[in-house]
Amino acid sequence: MTDWLTYNSLIVLQGVTLLGACSGVIGCFAVLRRRSLVGDALAHASLPGVCLAYLIIGEKHFFAMLIGAFLSGLLGIGFLAILRKFTRIKEDAGIAILLSVFFGAGIVLRSVIQQMPASGRAGLDSFIFGHSAGIVQSDVHWITGLSAGTLLIVLLCYKEFRLVAFDPEFAQVQGWPARLLDFALMLLLLGAVVIGLPAVGILLMAAMLIIPAAAARFWTQRFSFLLLLSAGAGMGSGIVGTILSAKFGVPTGACIILVCAAFFFISLLFAPGRGVVARILARQRNNLALQAQMKAGEEPPP
């Protein structure tokens, strides 16, 4: 064992690995439903709930803050649903409004907390902005529980979720409760965000939900492979990123994102079939075949 791999980094490693796998799976649904940025918005939207929980309880109570974050995220989901159903505001604008207004409200509440007498606000900021290197044992318990729960739910409702992810209208016509399933997917997303947030922060959470899934999408057309690949990519980047960050002394979250991004870049270039290189080659083969046919005096195929 080398000197940089301490007990502490082992715990961090455990946490980000599991979280990477879990958000990799949930991210697939978000990306397929074209809701990649909802995770980001929900992460921001949980701030007022966290602050309110702190103001009500009067101290930093991890579980209460989780509940606060969850409730405030739930409110955010409701807000998006109302805008979608009753107004002509498009989904992207709804997400931006949710993100900025809720976060603004959170900032206001945070300034209240800062002025409270005897405020032990240490910990509140890391709850929001995260601090991957500061993951502790209890975080890992939470993350393990979440990952297991998520995996179980996805396995149990695999067929239904797959249908809703690809074609909600068809699911509705087939008699599945498509809206309910869609809501369940949103809840899973919210769950991942709320639990991952204090561990890794808003930005890494958003990245882990989007990048592995978007990268995995290059490699496969099969949903089961997509889930596995994405989970693997999330896990792998978690491990590699943490090790690199420990080795070079750079921020863990950013390091994990960059490893993720590298995987995405490789997929973008070299994935068979959909990658850039594969497509250029296919086009050239096509051109050559066409030229050969024209030389031979044949009619080109339509």
Partner 1 sequence: MTGAEFHQAFWTVAIAAVCSVSCALLGCFLLLKRMSMLGDAIGHGVLPGIVLAVLLTGQVTSVYVLLGAMIFGVLTAVLSETLASSTEVTEDAGLGVVYTSLFAAGVILLSVFARHAHLDLDCVFLGLLEVAPLRTMSFLGFDIPRAAPTMALALGLTLGFLLVFWKELKIAAFDPALAASMGFSPRVINYLLIALIAGNTVSAFEAVGLILVLAVLIVPAASAHLLTDRLGAMLGWSACFALSASVLGFALRGLGGFSLDISGMIAVVLGVQFAVVVLLAPRHGILAKAWRNLRLSLRIAAEDILGTLYRAEEAGVVTFSLALKDHGLSSWVIWLAHRQLVQAGWIETNDKGLLVLTASGRQRAQYVVRSHRLWETFAGEFLDLPADHVHTAAARVEHYIGPKLQDELATALNQPPIDPHGKAIPPSAVETPPPPAN
| Least distance from partner 1 to the Cβ atom of residue 254, Å | 4
Nearer CB in complex with partner 1: 114/291: 114
User: What residue type is 33 in one-letter code?
Assistant: R
Q: Which of 103, 127, 219, 223 lies at the binding interface for partner 1 (CB under 8 A)?
A: 103
Cα–Cα nearest to 41, from 102, 89, 121: 102
| Least distance from partner 1 to the Cβ atom of residue 84, Å | 12
Q: Tell me the C-alpha distance between 36 and 128, whole Å.
A: 20
Q: Is 95 an interacting residue with respect to partner 1 (CB under 8 A)?
A: yes
Q: Is 268 an interacting residue with respect to partner 1 (CB under 8 A)?
A: yes
Tokens of 144: 């393990």
Nearer CB in complex with partner 1: 15/106: 106
Nearer CB in complex with partner 1: 142/218: 218
Q: Is 228 an interacting residue with respect to partner 1 (CB under 8 A)?
A: no
Binding mask 71-90 for partner 1 (x = CB under 8 A): -----------xx--xxxxx
Tokens of 80: 């998006």
3-state secondary structure of 28: helix
Q: Which of 101, 157, 228, 278 lies at the binding interface for partner 1 (CB under 8 A)?
A: 101
Number of neighbouring beta carbons within 10 Å of residue 44: 25
Helices 178-216 and 158-166, packing angle to 10 deg: 80
Q: Which of 217, 219, 226, 242 lies at the binding interface for partner 1 (CB under 8 A)?
A: 217
How does DSSP classify residue 177?
-
User: What residue type is 108 in one-letter code?
Assistant: V
* Burial label, 287 (beta-carbon count in 10 A; 0-12, 13-18, 19+): exposed
Q: Is 97 an interacting residue with respect to partner 1 (CB under 8 A)?
A: yes
Asked if 53 and 68 count as a contact pair (C-beta separation under 8 A), the reply is yes
Q: Which of 3, 7, 115, 300 lies at the binding interface for partner 1 (CB under 8 A)?
A: 115
How does DSSP classify residue 301?
P
What are the φ and ψ backbone dihedral angles of 192, each rounded to 5 degrees? -60, -45
Segment contacting partner 1 by CB under 8 A, of 1-9, 37-45, 141-149, 230-238: 37-45
Residues binding partner 1 (CB under 8 A): 31, 34-37, 40, 44, 82-83, 86-90, 92-93, 95-97, 99-108, 110-112, 115, 125, 129, 203, 206-207, 209-211, 213-214, 217-218, 248-251, 253-255, 257-258, 260-261, 264, 268, 274, 276
